[in-house]
């Protein structure tokens, strides 16, 4: 089980982590009335408008114009040269897009460098857990969110899921990188590029007959509410599960991990009045916007099958029954049933008994000298392998789409 827990689960996490954050959308089931108070947000105040009807008023018209003018190939070529947070924007960008990106790349005034560093320590010490939970937790949960699954399926990325997963793995890696928001890091770049992709999908997806027939009445995808649904399937879910598993995280690291995701939500264009200020506020919002809308969909089932096959490719030892069992253990039977995960009478009892013991054993090792640094070294090597595998030995690029999935 030790090999499973460290090498294979992290590989799986790298393959699937952050699935929902590129070309995402919220579920098609009926939503509860929006009652979450902006007093619980990082802004501490706000109009209290339902974020289901708010999108990205800054990015959307600019990216739509880029697509309609036929500038996408030129822009994508320029964006390939922009890889570091402290790097000047490349030449060749249209003036309107350049002006937007200069503004969008600025961290919020409330970003705290110290807290971001504390957040990075969670990945350093607990990468095995975050990797497994992002992948065989959050990644699979996204396929149980019908609008999100349909948006992924009918957008351009749905036609090549290996490439799609490679790009979403890049997001997951960058947000957890030790240098994520440092000048030499790349998370600002990744967030701004993702924001451009979101805007492009909002412009393109309403033109897709498949999406239009299954969108549950939503006329424009990826609202502010949609992004926060995915945010909770990542940040809130992962923190809650680590606590359930008995993973030891200091209060300082808890605050730092939350702060990393708060900054990330802002950088994706979410208004500060919708970003929870505390874990208590995050859990309250998650119960309203995420928990009630988990449901099956044909598109979600199709994506689940593809994703699990991709994970199994990473290691012949990761058999499909074992993946099913660990995934059910991670996301629960409700999500497992919604996405069609098989039930494994041999593996499920074994994992349910062995995993808590493994967590307890590993947590007992953490205080010993050099263990966190050694764990990070191994996990970083696996991270690079997964990126190499998924990227077909090429550098992974986030690019603005020009089309939807071919019908």
Interval 245-267: pLDDT, tens:
999 999 999 999 999 999 999 99
Mean pLDDT to the nearest integer, 57-86:
97
d(CA 364, CA 366): 6
Pairwise pLDDT comparison (61 vs 330), residue with the higher score: 61
Coil/strand/helix, residue 155: strand
Residue 3 pLDDT greater than 50, yes or no: no
Tokens of 301: 């089932």
- Percentages (nearest 5) of helix, strand, coil residues in the chain: 65, 0, 35
Nearest-CA neighbor of 401 among 222, 171, 157?
157
Burial letters for 18-50: b for 16+ Cβ neighbours within 10 Å, e otherwise?
bbbbbbbbbbbeebeebebebebbbbeeeeeee
Average pLDDT value for residue range 42-65: 96
What domain range is 312 assigned to?
Answer: 2-24+59-390
Which of residues 212 and 170 earns the better pLDDT score? 212
Q: In this structure, is residue 223 part of a structural domain?
A: yes
Question: Average pLDDT of 185-194?
Answer: 95
So what's the pLDDT on residue 17? 43
Coil/strand/helix, residue 404: strand
Residue 166 is predicted with a pLDDT of 63
Which of 16 and 78 is assigned the larger pLDDT?
A: 78
Instruction: Specify if 339 maps to a domain.
Output: yes
Long-range contacts of 304-308 (CB under 8 A, 24+ apart): 304/140, 304/143, 304/339, 304/340, 304/341, 305/340, 306/161, 307/15, 307/16, 307/19, 307/139, 307/140, 307/143, 307/161, 307/165
pTM of the model: 0.86
Alpha helices in 233-370 (DSSP H): 237-244, 251-267, 279-289, 298-314, 320-331, 333-338, 347-365
Q: Which region among 37-41, 144-148, 287-291 has the lowest average model confidence (pLDDT)? A: 144-148
Over residues 395-403, mean pLDDT: 86
pLDDT at residue 142 in the model = 87
Is residue 37 in some structural domain? Answer: no
User: Using an 8 Å Cβ cutoff, are 190 and 275 in contact?
Assistant: no
In the structure encoding, which two tokens stand for residue 401, read together?
A: 């789409």
pLDDT more than 90, % of the chain: 51
Of the candidates 157, 175, 300, 309, the one whose C-alpha atom is nearest the C-alpha of residue 234 is: 175
Q: Which residue has the higher pLDDT, 398 or 61?
A: 61
Cα dihedral: 237, 243, 244, 248 (round 10) = 140
375 pLDDT more than 80: no
Q: Which of 109-118, 238-247, 344-353 shows the lowest mean pLDDT across its residues? A: 344-353
Query: Higher model confidence: residue 115 or residue 150?
Result: 115
Please tell me the least confidently modeled range out of 1-10, 168-177, 305-314, 394-403: 1-10
Task: Name the more confident of 345 and 365.
Answer: 345
- Mean per-residue pLDDT, 364-391: 48
Q: Report yes or no on 240 lying in a domain.
A: yes
The backbone torsions φ and ψ at residue 82, rounded to the nearest 5 degrees and listed phi first, read -105, 110
Residue carrying structure tokens 């923190």: 239
pLDDT, tens only, 280-301: 999 999 999 998 999 998 888 8
Q: Which long-range contacts (CB under 8 A, 24 or more apart) does 59-65 make?
A: 59/100, 59/104, 59/195, 59/196, 59/198, 59/199, 59/269, 60/199, 60/202, 60/203, 62/96, 62/97, 62/100, 62/199, 63/97, 63/196, 63/199, 63/200, 63/203, 63/400, 64/199, 64/203, 65/96
Render 12-71 in DSSP notation, one character per residue. HHHHHTTGGGSS----SSPPPP----GGGBSSS------GGG---TTHHHHHHHHHHHT-
Write down the pLDDT at residue 83: 94
- How many separate domains does the chain show? 1
Does residue 368 carry a pLDDT above 80?
no
DSSP annotation of 158 reads G
385 pLDDT more than 50: no
Q: Given this model, what pLDDT does residue 374 score?
A: 44
Res. 4: pLDDT tops 60? no
Per-residue pLDDT at 137:
82
Whether residue 396 lies inside any domain: the answer is no
Q: Do the domain assignments include residue 201?
A: yes
- Residue 356 tokens, joined: 């808590």
Mean pLDDT score of the chain, rounded to an integer? 83
402 assigned to some structural domain: no
pLDDT for res 19:
43
For residue 29, is pLDDT > 80? no
State the Rg of the chain over Cα.
20
The whole-number pLDDT of residue 113 equals 96
Instruction: Read off the pLDDT of residues 90-112 as tens digits, 9 standing for 90 and up.
Output: 999 999 999 999 999 999 999 99
Does residue 39 lie within any of the structural domains?
A: no
């Amino acid at each position: 089980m030790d090999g499973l827990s460290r090498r294979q689960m992290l590989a799986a996490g790298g393959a699937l982590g952050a699935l929902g954050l590129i070309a995402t959308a919220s579920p098609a089931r009926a939503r509860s009335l929006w009652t979450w108070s902006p007093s619980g947000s990082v802004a501490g105040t706000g109009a209290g408008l339902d974020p289901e009807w708010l999108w990205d008023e800054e990015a959307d018209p600019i990216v739509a114009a880029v697509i309609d003018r036929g500038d996408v190939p030129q822009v994508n070529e320029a964006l390939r040269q922009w890889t570091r947070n402290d790097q000047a924007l490349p030449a060749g960008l249209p003036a309107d897009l350049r002006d937007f990106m200069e503004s969008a790349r600025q961290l919020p005034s409330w970003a705290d460098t110290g807290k971001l560093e504390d957040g990075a320590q969670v990945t350093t010490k607990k990468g095995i857990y975050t990797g497994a939970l992002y992948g065989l937790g959050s990644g699979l949960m996204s396929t149980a969110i019908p609008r999100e699954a349909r948006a992924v399926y009918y957008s351009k990325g749905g036609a090549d899921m290996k490439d799609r997963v490679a790009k979403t793995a890049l997001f997951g890696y960058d947000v957890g990188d030790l240098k994520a928001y440092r000048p030499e890091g790349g998370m600002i770049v990744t967030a701004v590029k993702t924001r451009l992709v979101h805007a492009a999908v909002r412009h393109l997806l309403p033109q897709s007959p498949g999406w239009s027939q299954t969108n549950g009445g939503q006329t424009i995808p990826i609202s502010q509410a949609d992004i926060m649904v995915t945010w909770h399937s990542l940040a809130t879910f992962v923190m809650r599960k680590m606590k359930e598993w008995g993973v030891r995280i200091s209060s300082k690291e808890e605050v730092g991990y939350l702060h990393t995701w708060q900054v990330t939500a802002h950088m994706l264009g979410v208004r500060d009045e919708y970003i929870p200020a505390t874990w208590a506020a995050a859990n309250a919002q998650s119960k309203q916007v995420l928990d009630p809308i988990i449901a099956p969909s044909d598109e979600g089932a199709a994506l689940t099958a593809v994703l699990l096959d991709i994970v199994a490719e990473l290691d012949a030892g990761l058999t499909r029954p074992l993946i099913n069992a660990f995934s059910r253990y991670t996301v629960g039977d409700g999500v497992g049933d919604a996405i069609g995960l098989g039930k494994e009478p041999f593996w499920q009892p074994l994992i349910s008994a062995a995993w808590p013991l493994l967590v307890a054993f590993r947590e007992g090792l953490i205080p010993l000298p050099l263990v966190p640094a050694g764990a990070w070294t191994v996990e970083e090597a696996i991270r690079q392998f997964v990126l190499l595998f998924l990227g077909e030995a090429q550098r992974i690029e986030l690019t603005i789409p020009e089309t939807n999935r071919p019908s």
